[in-house]
Structures are given as structure tokens and as C-alpha cells.
Homo-oligomer: A and B are copies of this chain.
Amino acid sequence: MSLSQQTHQQQTESHLTLADKVLVQLQNSIIKGEIAAGSKINEQAIAKQFGISRGPAREALHTLERQLLIIRAPHVGARIARLTVNELNELYALRSTLESMACELAAIHISAQQLQQLATLIQYQQHALQNDDFDFQQQGDIDFHYQIIHASGNQHLRRTLIDGLYHLLRMYRYQCSSGIKPTQAIAEHQQIYTAIANADGELAGLLMRRHIERGRQKAVLRLQQIEPFTSAQL
């Protein structure tokens, strides 16, 4: 289980409710695009597919709605979120502001242990870069941002980013990843880490802004290639 997967509950698997288990699987299916964007999704079908009743299925869909992965209309049903350039821009603008704030706070509040974990993660990332371990590159990137958010110490900031925007963001990043080596991105991570280690929150925040802006530009380019196809299907 990745660091970014575990949010705040540390409960063992046996305590997990059916809605939670189904939720995780649906999240992954949606984020990976295995369920087509814009397609309808209803409670009965989910319940049948996972061998449960409509109650937990309904709860899972409600959670997916608040995670912005589906769009629900009362008495009508739900549809998988559709990726658009406009929404990507809005999402990244908000993300940039919030993660910049997280950097400023993290530079003040980060503990020695958290700083050490961040350093270790960057080393792993550089290792994965050399070995062309693409999955770990992407997961490591997410974990880097997550650890900084966590180190900010602001629980509301963390909840807003991790429980709210995080999931839709993962969808954009997964489906809009260019596939080229993230050499520059990891170098930027290194710079941000150094700024935080030097307790220079202002610099760290600035670097994070630019880092996310570059990611936005790449994602937009990729999305503009695939958007005509995805928006074509009803």
C-alpha cells in the first residue's frame, strides 16, 4: 500500500466496509480509463458486478461524486467525469495555489524524520528514472507531493487536497502522461526539497508553482491530442 493511498485511517482490512472496498476498485477503474469517460454508471449494475446490494454501491457512488470522479444528477443517475482542457486548467490553478501554500508551511513545520523520508523518496525516484521503472516514477511523483502536503501540518489543507482534488488529479495525470522521462520534474523535486530543507518557504512555494505550471502545460498538450476523441462519444 502506497503512502498516498493511506489517508488518515489505519484500520486493517477486516474493518473496511463493503462500500470502501468497492470504492477503491471503482476509483482505479475510472482513473485508468477502463470505464469510458462520460459513460453512465448506475447503482444496480455496480451492485451486481461486485456481488453486493445497492446500499454499499450507492454509498460508493456518493463518495465518487465528492471526489469529482463522477457527476450525479438527482433521480437521473451518474456519469464518469469527462476530461476537458478547461477543467484541467481550473484544477491545476487551484492545485498550484494549494501546494504552494503547503510548501510554505512545510518549510516551517517539517520534522527531521519527514525531511529524511523526503530525501529517501527522491533517491528512489532517481533510481527509478535510471531503470525506466515507469510505474514507480509516477507513484513516486505523487508521493513526493503527498509528503509535502502532509508535512505542512494543516489538516484542512491536507483533507482538501488528498480527499478532494487528489483523485481527479490522479485521473488527469494518468491519462495525460506523456510517457517521456520526467528528468526535469525530478530535478525540480530536488530543488524544492533543498528549499524546504533550508526552511526557505517562499522559495519552495515559488518553485512548486513553476513545477506544477510545467506539469499543466504538458498535460494540456497531451489532452488536446486525445480530447477530440473522448468528447466525440456521448
Contact = CB atoms under 8 A, between A and B. Distances in A.
A135 interface: no
Interface residues of A, number: 28
Interface of A is mostly: helix
Interface in A1-50: 9, 11, 15, 17
Copies in the complex: 2
A170 interface: no
A202 to B, nearest CB: 14
A231 interface: no
A149 to B, nearest CB: 12
A93 B154 CA distance: 9
Contacts of A11: 74
Interface of A: 9, 11, 15, 17, 55, 59, 62, 66, 68, 74-75, 87, 90-91, 93-94, 97-98, 101, 105, 154-157, 159-160, 164-165
30 contacts: A11-B74, A15-B74, A17-B74, A55-B55, A59-B62, A62-B62, A66-B66, A68-B156, A68-B159, A87-B155, A87-B156, A90-B154, A90-B156, A90-B157, A93-B101, A93-B105, A93-B154, A93-B157, A94-B101, A94-B154, A94-B156, A94-B160, A97-B97, A97-B98, A97-B101, A98-B98, A156-B165, A160-B160, A160-B165, A164-B164
